[in-house]
Amino acid sequence: MVAWKYNATYEEPPGSIKIIEREGDGDSSYTREYYADGVRPRGLMPLQEILTKAFNSADDKPEISPQALLAK
C-alpha cells in the first residue's frame, strides 16, 4: 500500500476536494477539515517504484539507476 499525503489548504482553490479526517471516538475525537488540490507520496519508496517502472519502460536506458538518483 502506498501512503499518500494531501496537499492541504484551508481556502478552496478551483478543482480541489474537501477532506474531512476524523480521529478518535467519544469525548476525545478530533476532526480536521481542509481542501486538497493534489497528493504526494510519503517517503521515497513510492517515488522509487514510479522511477523504476519508468526507467524499465524507457527505450533509451538512463545511465543512472533510480536508487542512485534518490540517494543524491
| Residue 58: domain span | 42-72
Sheet harboring 17-23: ordered strands across?
Answer: 4-9, 30-41, 17-23
| Residues 50 and 28 grouped into a single domain | no
| Residues 51 and 22 grouped into a single domain | no
Q: How far apart are CA 19 and CA 41, in angstroms?
A: 17
What is this structure's pTM?
Answer: 0.50
| Residues 35 and 52 grouped into a single domain | no
**What secondary structure letter does DSSP report for 60?**
S
Q: How far apart are CA 4 and CA 42, in angstroms?
A: 5
| Residues 32 and 10 grouped into a single domain | yes
| pLDDT tens-digit readout, 4-55 | 788 889 999 999 999 998 888 878 888 989 999 888 877 788 788 888 898 8
